[in-house]
């Protein structure tokens, strides 16, 4: 059982640069939380504060109700997997995995059993006598995970563990981490800048930007109802299309195009009459057939879908990307007729999402 | 296909190899000469007939030397000074270098500057002498009368070697230190189980520097060790040299070997242990202890 609670946590460096602002979250036992955001958003700093590798400037950190804000890293009973593996190059794989238990002077027989069990889970049994330099990148990262598993820690921390692996290996290792999480039912904090990892792994995602938490929610919540323009643009690949539009006469009028709205959408925008807002449309919410003209300049067939890029509007003022179903074969300069299946609306000033009755 | 060397490259290579060969032979020659002279007959040595190879081979000079109790005594003193001196200096250097390699050390810049300053402006023998006197006072108050310990302890500081080790420690990736801390290692365990093994090659090099300087140490041993029974090999050689090159003392020399041969035999014996140590240490010189530990 391990419940983690971060309360009003700030990180201010000695040079007065603030990296994290008022971070709050209660992590439930066995939950996998993914911190996601672009480089420099404060996600790794937050993880390092939880690990005890960085001091917490303000706020409190609780583990199972116990205040561990000032507890040294070595006494927090957390294990961490680093981006660049951080294996002990002078030790064998066995010694690497047994290191933390050896430090605690556990019975060698128990250590042996635990190392073998972890190696078995991760498929490293035949590699135990090798040195890290003799292993591939994926195997090394598995050793780093094995080093965490043997300890049976209260919390697992992952700092961009897949960043150094190639695309194929990344997918495989991601599935291994997911299986590991299911198997151990452990509380995990996982940092990544890759939204695919965030969406596939997380029970809940914390999306961050410039040190501020933008939204905390399940992957579906972040994808389906993003809190603001940043989350909407960050989550989803290809990213959401944004258009400057004005809500007028029950329609959205953009540069050289008009979009009609459903009654529900009109109700949502009822407070924004004759005002400029941002319209967001996911590429996968664009379908063929409709009244919007798109002049295509690129047609990328992906198998099940086709990614079509073009310009929309009378004079092609709006850049648009659409993920169309099936195999289309538009040539450069062809015109496609499309419509928007689902729309997101954002306040132009606050960049926050406009929801029913909210302003 | 092998690339043909350009003429300028060829000239450069020929000159470099020639110079290096001459330099290597220049280093080797005195040693070969000492061996030849130590096992040559009296006439050949005294009349300068030895160029490279020995003449009228005999081993009596070695026999005389091995039969001298003072020699064995000096040898054991040298071993003592080398062993404990290296151990102590290495311990001081490792702890100092580890602290100086940490960015979180308070006044780190000042301490590093302070260390390097002593290398730029070496103040000669006076501070070292004062250091000996101060250490001697402490020893006297503790009742330690063995002057060998004085040389061991007061020689414990070597700025250059601390800088070498500090650089090696700084090269250990920060994530590995953090991994060890998260794994539950204390500061001392991080040093002992991560930094020291990962800097093995530099530590071996520094240990060799310390060992050679302690083994060949003459000046301070001569100045500070008053009891003749505690003199190391180098001081003993010097005393014998003074004695054997004194014409009056040597007036009655009437052996089949020259007195110089005994000196050469002593020199050969003093060099051999260091020659033996080299190959053992050399394997640590190979780099790459940390290969594969972190993604570079």
Classify residue B290: in a domain, yes or no. Answer: no
Q: How many helices (H) and strands (E) does chain A have?
A: 9, 19
- Listed in sequence order, the residues at least 6 apart from A118 whose beta carbon sits closer than 8 Å to its beta carbon are A97, A124, A146, A149, A150
Q: How far is CA B62 from CA B38, B67, B260, in A?
A: 8, 8, 12
Q: Is residue B296 part of a domain?
A: no
Q: Which of A328, A289, A290 is nearest to A307 (CA)?
A: A328
Quote the CA–CA distance of B276 and B240 in Å, as a whole number. 25
Closest CA of chain B from A8, distance in Å: 24
**Cβ-defined contact of B181 to A85 (cutoff 8 Å):** no
Any domain includes B2: no
Residue B229 in any domain: the answer is yes
**In sequence order, what are the beta bridge partners of A246?**
A253, A276
Helix, strand, coil percentages, rounded to 5, for chain A:
30, 35, 35
Q: Which region, left, alpha or beta, applies to residue B98 given φ > 0 means left and ψ of -120 to 50 means alpha? A: alpha
Question: Which of A112-116, B179-183, B209-213 comes out lowest in average pLDDT?
Answer: B209-213
**Rounded Cα distance, B62 and B46, in Å:** 17
Say if B295 falls within a structural domain: no
Q: Which residues contact A162 (CB under 8 A, 6 or more apart)?
A: A141, A169, A170, A173, A174, A192, A194, A197
Q: Domains of chain A by range and CATH?
A: 4-233 (3.40.50.300), 241-347 (2.40.50.140)
CATH number of the domain that residue B202 is part of: 1.10.3720.10
Tell me, yes or no, whether B292 lies in a domain.
no
Distance from CA of B181 to the nearest CA of A (A): 5
- Domains of chain B: total: 1
Residues of A with CB under 8 A from a CB of B: 51-53, 73-76, 78-80, 82-91, 99-100, 103-104, 131-135, 137, 140, 147, 151, 157, 164
First-to-final CA distance of chain B: 33
Residue A220: beta bridge partners? none
CB A64 within 8 A of CB A84: no
Q: Of B179, B288, B292, which has the smallest distance from its Cβ to A82's Cβ?
A: B179
> Is B179 within 8 Å of A80 when comparing Cβ atoms?
yes
* Tokens at B265, concatenated: 């035999």
Q: Helix or strand or coil: residue A169?
A: helix
Structure token pair of residue B233: 């090999």
Helix ranges (DSSP H) in A123-254: 137-149, 167-184, 195-201, 219-224, 229-234
Residue pLDDT, tens place only, B72-83: 999 999 999 999
Q: Show the domain range for B189.
A: 7-285
Pairing label, strands A18-27, A32-36: unpaired
Mutate to test the interface with A, among B193, B295, B296 (most CBs of A within 10 A): B295
Strand order in the sheet with A187-192: A78-81, A155-159, A187-192, A32-36, A204-209, A212-217
- Contact residues, chain B to chain A, C-beta under 8 Å: 173, 175-176, 178-186, 189, 193-194, 197-198, 200, 288-296
ipTM of this complex prediction, to 2 decimal places = 0.84
pLDDT per position in chain A (359 positions), as tens?
Answer: 699 999 999 999 989 999 999 999 999 999 999 999 999 999 999 999 999 999 999 999 999 999 999 999 999 999 999 988 899 999 999 999 999 999 999 999 999 999 999 998 888 999 999 999 999 888 998 899 999 989 889 999 999 998 888 888 888 888 888 988 988 889 999 999 999 899 999 999 999 999 999 999 999 999 999 999 999 999 998 999 999 999 998 899 999 899 999 999 999 999 999 999 999 999 999 999 988 999 999 999 998 999 999 999 877 789 999 999 999 999 999 999 999 999 999 999 999 999 875 54
The shortest C-alpha distance from A68 to chain B (Å) reads 14
Q: How far apart (Å, rounded) are the C-alpha atoms in residues A209 and A41?
A: 5
Chain A nearest CA to B291, separation (Å): 6
CB atoms within 10 A of CB B247: 7
């Amino acid at each position: 059982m391990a419940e983690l609670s971060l309360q009003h946590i700030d990180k201010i460096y000695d040079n007065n640069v603030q990296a994290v602002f008022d971070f709050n979250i209660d992590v439930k036992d066995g939950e996998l939380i993914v911190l996601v955001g672009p480089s420099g958003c404060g996600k790794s700093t937050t993880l390092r504060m939880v690990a005890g590798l960085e001091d917490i400037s303000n706020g409190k950190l609780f583990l199972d109700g116990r205040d561990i804000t000032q507890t040294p890293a070595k006494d927090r009973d957390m294990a961490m997997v680093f981006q660049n593996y951080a294996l002990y190059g002078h030790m064998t794989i066995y010694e690497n995995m047994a290191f933390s238990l050896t430090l605690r002077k556990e019975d060698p027989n128990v250590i042996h059993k635990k190392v073998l069990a972890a190696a078995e889970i991760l498929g490293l049994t035949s590699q135990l006598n090798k040195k890290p330099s003799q292993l591939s990148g994926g195997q090394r990262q598995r050793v780093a995970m094995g080093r965490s598993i043997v300890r049976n820690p209260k919390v697992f921390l992952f700092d961009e563990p897949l960043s150094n692996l190639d695309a194929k290996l990344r997918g495989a290792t991601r599935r291994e981490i997911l299986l590991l999480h299911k198997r151990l039912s452990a509380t995990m904090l996982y940092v990544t800048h890759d939204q695919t990892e965030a969406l596939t792994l997380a029970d809940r995602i914390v999306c961050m930007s410039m040190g501020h938490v933008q939204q905390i929610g399940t992957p579906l919540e972040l994808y389906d109802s993003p809190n603001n323009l940043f989350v909407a643009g960050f989550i989803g690949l290809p990213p959401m299309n944004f258009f400057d539009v004005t809500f007028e006469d029950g329609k959205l009028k953009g540069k050289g195009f008009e979009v009609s709205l459903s009654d529900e959408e009109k109700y949502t925008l009822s407070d924004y009459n004759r005002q400029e807002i941002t319209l967001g449309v996911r590429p996968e919410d664009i379908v063929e057939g409709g009244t919007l003209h798109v002049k295509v300049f690129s047609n990328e067939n992906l198998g099940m879908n086709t990614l079509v890029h073009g310009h929309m509007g009378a004079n092609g003022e709006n850049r648009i990307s659409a993920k169309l179903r099936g195999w289309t074969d538009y040539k450069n300069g062809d015109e496609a007729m499309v419509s928007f299946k689902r729309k997101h609306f954002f306040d132009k000033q606050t960049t926050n999402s406009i929801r029913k009755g909210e302003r | 296909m092998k690339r043909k060397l350009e003429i300028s490259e060829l000239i450069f290579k020929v000159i470099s190899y020639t110079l290096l060969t001459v330099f290597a032979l220049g280093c080797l020659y005195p040693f070969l000469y000492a061996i030849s002279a130590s096992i040559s007959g009296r006439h050949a040595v005294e009349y300068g007939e030895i160029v490279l190879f020995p003449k009228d081979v005999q081993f009596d000079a070695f026999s005389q030397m091995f039969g001298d109790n003072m020699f064995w005594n000096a040898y054991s003193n040298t071993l003592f000074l080398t062993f404990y001196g290296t151990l102590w200096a290495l311990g001081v250097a490792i702890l100092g270098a580890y602290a100086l390699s940490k960015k979180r050390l308070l006044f780190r810049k000042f301490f590093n500057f302070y260390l390097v300053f002593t290398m730029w402006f070496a103040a000669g023998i006076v501070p070292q002498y004062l250091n000996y006197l101060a250490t001697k006072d402490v020893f006297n108050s503790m009742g330690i009368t063995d002057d060998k310990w004085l040389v061991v302890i007061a020689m414990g500081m070597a700025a250059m070697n601390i800088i070498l080790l500090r650089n090696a420690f700084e090269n250990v990736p920060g994530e590995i230190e953090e991994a060890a801390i998260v794994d539950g290692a204390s500061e001392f365990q991080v040093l002992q189980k991560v930094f020291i093994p990962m800097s093995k090659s530099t530590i071996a090099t520094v240990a060799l520097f310390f060992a050679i300087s302690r083994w060949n140490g003459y000046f301070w041993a001569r100045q500070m060790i008053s009891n003749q029974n505690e003199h190391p090999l180098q001081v003993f050689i010097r005393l014998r040299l003074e004695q054997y090159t004194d014409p009056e003392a040597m007036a009655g020399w009437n052996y089949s070997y020259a007195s110089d041969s005994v000196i050469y035999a002593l020199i050969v014996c003093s060099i051999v242990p260091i020659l033996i140590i080299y190959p053992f240490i050399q394997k640590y010189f190979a780099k790459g202890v940390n290969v594969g530990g972190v993604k570079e």
